[in-house]
Chains A and B, each alone.
Chain A
């Protein structure tokens, strides 16, 4: 295996992503956790670029690193959480969960370990955005429209849910 630039880039990005994730788990301050996660999201965007998906990478940075993180921060701010006194669940439960997760990881890893997909010739990187646009507005037009409806519903729903109950509930 040669240490190509691509490989080094992958390793760095992957490392950043995993570190972000681990920090998410281990930090105590909620705001810090979210900041740590921004690293992950950005690294994932880099991974997308390595996978010839420039448009997705852009969307990732815009939506995750930008929008969702900010929303979450808003959520935190609005709900006056106790910053640091984040209690942990019992050791037994964490151990139990950890074992489950590791078992799952192990099982899936067996599945992908020997997965040798020979890289195919592809043209994904050429005019990526154009390709996506074409596919989106022709082949996937109906899901696309449905997505817009979904977004609308989410928008309205969020507003209704978060709206203060004027009359004090009933």
Chain B
């Protein structure tokens, strides 16, 4: 019915996830880190939707789950940004290197 194997979608999701992960762990700008995390969430959503169609028992639930994930991601982005702004106000930077209060 479909000419595209499930593994292709999964591989795409994997690549995007890895890009997001790399970005989240290596970028210095906090905004980019946040957005990289969004990318990772997206990759996961692809997986969810893929299995909703290609799973052993296809079901709409996968899509619903993806929907919830998007919602949570949106909320997370908002809160993350708020924290970022609060931090920026105190420390005048968004550079993640300088946020090392855990060390002290």
Contacts and interface: CB of A to CB of B under 8 A. Distances in A.
Interface of A: 1-2, 4, 6-7, 10, 14, 17-18, 21-22, 24-25, 30, 33-34, 37, 40-41, 44, 47-48, 50-53, 55-56, 59-60, 63-64, 67-68, 71-72, 74-76, 78-79, 81, 86-89, 93-94, 97-98, 101-102, 104-105, 108-109, 112-117, 119-122, 124, 128, 131-132, 135-136, 139-140, 143-144, 147, 150-151, 153-155, 157-162, 164-165
B2 A21 contact: no
A71 B34 CA distance: 11
A64 B88 contact: no
Given A17-B16, A18-B12, A104-B18, A68 B73 contact: yes
Contact of B60 (A7, A120, A124, A160): A124
A132 B65 CA distance: 10
A131 B63 CA distance: 10
B3 A108 contact: no
Interface residues of B, number: 73
B99 interface: no
Given A47-B46, A68-B35, 12 more contacts: A22-B19, A24-B19, A24-B36, A51-B53, A60-B42, A68-B74, A79-B88, A112-B11, A115-B6, A120-B57, A150-B71, A154-B76
Contact of A72 (B56, B71, B77): B77
A71 B75 CA distance: 11
Interface of B: 1-12, 14-16, 18-23, 25-29, 31-32, 34-36, 38-39, 42, 45-46, 49-50, 52-58, 60-61, 63-64, 66-68, 70-79, 81-86, 88-89, 94-95, 97
Given A97-B22, A119-B54, A158 B38 contact: no
